[in-house]
């Protein structure tokens, strides 16, 4: 399925992004990584906990993070996403098979998006494109 997607034409602005995946299920993480690579993006880190994600972002800051809401460890996805965004300015796409909790109602703001699992490939592509365009606009205004 991923191979077929990579042959589909893509209209609109597309720029390769460095993406972090924060997902505690290795099979889902691998599937998302293959999908993102088929879109032309680079996976710079895959993390299974919030603590690992913050440490990884300290070492190499991604352009975007895909974040499961339910993670192992001390930090859940909401807390991790907020910290990554506040500390490093990383936009977050939250992913979950469960309804968006009240603590994550902010997830549809300019720095956050929410997609339900299983991930709809077209919605994922459009969400990434939205952050791509925002990143390009921010970079243009800084030069």
For residue 21, CA distances in Å to 10, 16, 112, 128 come to 22, 15, 15, 13
Range(s) of the domain holding residue 88: 15-128
Confidence of residue 9 (pLDDT cuts 50, 70, 90): very low
Domain presence at residue 48: yes
Q: What is the pLDDT of residues 61-109, one digit of tens each?
A: 999 999 999 998 899 999 999 999 999 999 999 998 887 666 556 655 6
Domain presence at residue 39: yes
Residues 6+ apart with CB under 8 A from 76: 50, 69, 70
Q: What is the pLDDT of residues 47-63, one digit of tens each?
A: 999 999 999 999 999 99
The answer to whether residues 61 and 79 touch, using CB atoms and an 8 Å cutoff, is no
Number of domains in the chain: 1
Domain presence at residue 113: yes
Please tell me the pTM assigned to this model.
0.82
Is the model more confident about 120 or about 142?
120
Domain harbouring 65, CATH code: 3.40.50.2300
The answer to whether residues 56 and 102 touch, using CB atoms and an 8 Å cutoff, is no
Query: How much is the pLDDT for 15?
Result: 79
């Amino acid at each position: 399925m991923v191979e077929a997607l990579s042959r589909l034409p893509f209209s609109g602005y597309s720029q390769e992004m460095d993406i972090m995946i924060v997902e505690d299920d290795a099979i889902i993480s691998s599937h998302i990584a293959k999908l993102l690579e088929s879109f032309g993006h680079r996976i710079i880190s895959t993390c299974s906990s919030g603590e690992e994600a913050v440490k990884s972002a300290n070492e190499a800051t991604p352009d975007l993070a895909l974040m499961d809401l339910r993670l192992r460890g001390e930090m859940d996805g909401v807390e991790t996403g907020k910290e990554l965004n506040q500390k490093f300015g990383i936009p977050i796409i939250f992913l979950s098979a469960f309804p968006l909790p009240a603590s994550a109602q902010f997830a549809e703001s300019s720095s956050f998006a929410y997609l339900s699992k299983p991930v709809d490939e077209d919605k994922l592509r459009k969400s990434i494109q939205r952050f791509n365009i925002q990143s390009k606009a921010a970079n243009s205004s800084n030069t």
